[in-house]
A and B are shown apart, each in its own frame.
Chain A
Amino acid sequence: MKDIKFLKVVIFLNCILPVVLLSSDAWRGQLGPNPIESYLRTTGVTVLVLLLITLSITPLRRLFGWNGLIRFRRMLGLFAFFYAAVHLVTYSVFDKSLDLTAIVSDIVQRPFIAVGMSALVLMVPLAITSTNGMVKRLGGKNWARLQRLIYPIAVLGVIHFWMIVKSDIFYPTVLGVVLVLLLVIRYIVGRMQKAKVKPTRSASITG
């Protein structure tokens, strides 16, 4: 675990892999008869998977003491944002032909678009404040409070997926169950720690 730089490269490569595979499949005409739909679905699911991995870091640290994982969290979160951006661009260009009025009326009329768009908009401040400089400028406590937006983002993301599925809710359910588990673990471990450190009331900025 000491080889942080190298492991960061490995995680970077694995994070970029889905979009590489997806694009090479698209280039070779391997995305099936409706490539736009494949692109939307794959980028969307990748966002959710990356969000869940990002959210699992704190529980893993608390439960198993794997504190080194914190060094990879920013990259994972930023990749989630990257895939969300690709998802939005694909939708805007190919589904809506960059027609802003059509996009706005979609947000107003389609609850699932509104939910997805809210999740994406909420990700923007997290991405902007992801630099070390921003952590300093905001102060650790404020920064941590702001980054807690990831909970509503993940919940909205799973709901967005749930809402578009016609009748087979298997995958949204799996992602939803994992999300709930992660939130429950976090809540329980958080309470246990609070009870332990109560006398000093030391604030944790790692949340």
Chain B
Amino acid sequence: MSEIKYGKNLKDEVTPENLYLNRRNFIRAGIAAGSIALTTGVYRFFDLSVRPEPATTEVVPVYSPIVGPDGETANSLEEISHYNNFYEFSTSKLAVASKARDFQTRPWRISVGGLVARPMEFEVDTLAEFRPEERIYRFRCVEGWSMVIPWSGFPLSRLMEKVEPLETAKYVAFETFYDPRQMQSSFSAGIDFPYVEGLRLDEALHPLTILATGIYGRPLPNQNGAPVRLVVPWKYGFKSIKSIVKITLTSDEPPTTWNIANADEYGFYSNVNPEVDHPRWSQKSERRIGEITMRKTLPFNGYGDEVGGLYSGMDLKKYF
């Protein structure tokens, strides 16, 4: 570069060094900034942690902390409504809220039939006749996390009284609404839809078992199973089936979705039990959402005094 071979005049056309360096630095800055922007884009595309909510005109009220019967503070509505397992919408707990935003929950009818004297259909807004009340329950997911949720709901037994189960009815089967146009699940959810669940009749009639229609005194958010869902607080969360359209009383144990998907890992009963580990992870402890360390998991999720009698004489390791 020091010699000019083809004539002296060309010397004037050589880019001055300072300009050359400037241009080089400019290109360098461009490469660095461009690559960082690209990596950030890829990161944000796959990362589901930050999902900005669409703007809403609705004013979300601020609630004073609700304290449950055992002195535990309820999780915030924000936590409860932004960490959801609802595989019909997404297999990512953080993405369900935004993907379920436009889910149509009216009109909505729940049909109750099977082995009952009086099969009935309920329009969801008439469920108010069953006098929903506030129930603050612990909620323990099979994945190892938990929350405290102030549900509004009524005992399922009140609805059962109306339809009058027959002597032969031993189980209750539940089915979730399914519409693939509204529910565009992940590419490979790995479970079959519609989602189905079931309880033994005595479990279904237990006073702790409720049909929930609200959280924090307002209607259930779509992502939490609107407009009506089951809540069975002593069982792992997946038993508490969401967005129910059908309830059927049966004489035989009904099939249940996670049991169909993997019978070794998810039993029909699925009572919260720190003594029976999931084959792949421990159930001895759980992370309460909002806390950073783990806390001990309680047998029957802390409801053993109320529900232990339902299982007396049963080998809970066999009937997990």
A-B pairs, top 10 by smallest CB distance, nearest first, are A167-B190, A168-B91, A33-B83, A33-B79, A170-B188, A14-B39, A31-B49, A38-B49, A32-B94, A30-B50
Q: Could you give, for residues 272-284 of chain B, a 1 whenever the CB lies within 8 Å of some chain A CB and a 0 otherwise? A: 0000010011100
Q: How many A-B contacts if CB must be within 8 Å? A: 98
Mostly, the B contact residues are loop
Q: Show 17 residue pairs from A and B whose CB-CB distance is below 8 angstroms, ordered by the A residue.
A: A10-B31, A17-B39, A18-B39, A31-B50, A35-B292, A37-B145, A38-B49, A94-B292, A97-B294, A112-B280, A112-B281, A163-B280, A167-B261, A168-B87, A168-B189, A169-B188, A173-B188
Tell me the complex Cα distance, A38–B281, Å: 18
A117 CB to closest chain B CB (Å) equals 14
Contact partners of A10 in chain B: CB under 8 A: 31-32, 35
Residue of B nearest to A168 (CB): B91
A17-B280 contact in complex given A6-B28, A30-B49, A97-B294, C-beta closer than 8 Å:
no
Band of interface residues on A: 35 or more
Q: Do the beta carbons of A14 and B145 come within 8 Å of each other?
A: no
**CB of A166 within 8 Å of the partner chain:** yes
**CB of B63 within 8 Å of the partner chain:** no
Contact partners of B43 in chain A: CB under 8 A: 17-18, 21
Looking at A9, A18, A37, A42, the one whose CB has the most chain B CB atoms below 10 A away is A37
Tell me the complex Cα distance, A97–B261, Å: 33
Residue of B nearest to A36 (CB): B292
Residue of A nearest to B46 (CB): A45
Q: Which residues 160-196 of A have a CB within 8 angstroms of B? A: 163-164, 166-170, 173
**CB of B182 within 8 Å of the partner chain:** no
**CB of A13 within 8 Å of the partner chain:** yes
B87 CB to closest chain A CB (Å) equals 8
A32-B83 contact in complex given A167-B91, A167-B190, A169-B190, C-beta closer than 8 Å:
yes
List the interface of chain B (C-beta within 8 A of A): 28, 31-32, 35-36, 39-40, 43-44, 46-50, 75, 78-79, 82-83, 87, 91, 93-94, 143, 145, 186-191, 261-262, 277, 280-282, 287, 289-290, 292-294
Contact partners of B188 in chain A: CB under 8 A: 168-170, 173
Contact partners of A36 in chain B: CB under 8 A: 287, 292
Tell me the complex Cα distance, A42–B35, Å: 20
A115 CB to closest chain B CB (Å) equals 11
Given A30-B50, A112-B280, list of 19 further CB < 8 A pairs?
A10-B35, A14-B39, A17-B39, A21-B47, A25-B50, A32-B94, A34-B93, A42-B47, A42-B49, A96-B294, A97-B294, A109-B282, A110-B282, A164-B280, A167-B191, A168-B87, A168-B186, A168-B188, A169-B188
Contact partners of A94 in chain B: CB under 8 A: 292-293
List the interface of chain A (C-beta within 8 A of B): 3, 6, 9-10, 13-14, 17-18, 21, 25, 30-38, 42, 45, 94-97, 106, 109-112, 163-164, 166-170, 173
Q: Do the beta carbons of B287 and A25 come within 8 Å of each other?
A: no
Q: Do the beta carbons of B290 and A33 come within 8 Å of each other?
A: yes
* CB contact between A32 and one of B49, B143, B261, B292 (< 8 Å): that residue: B49
Contact partners of A33 in chain B: CB under 8 A: 75, 78-79, 82-83, 289-290
Tell me the complex Cα distance, A9–B87, Å: 42
Tell me the complex Cα distance, A25–B28, Å: 28
A2 CB to closest chain B CB (Å) equals 12
Tell me the complex Cα distance, A111–B262, Å: 17
Residue of B nearest to A95 (CB): B294
Contact partners of B50 in chain A: CB under 8 A: 25, 30-31
Q: Do the beta carbons of B280 and A110 come within 8 Å of each other?
A: yes
Looking at B39, B46, B49, B145, the one whose CB has the most chain A CB atoms below 10 A away is B49
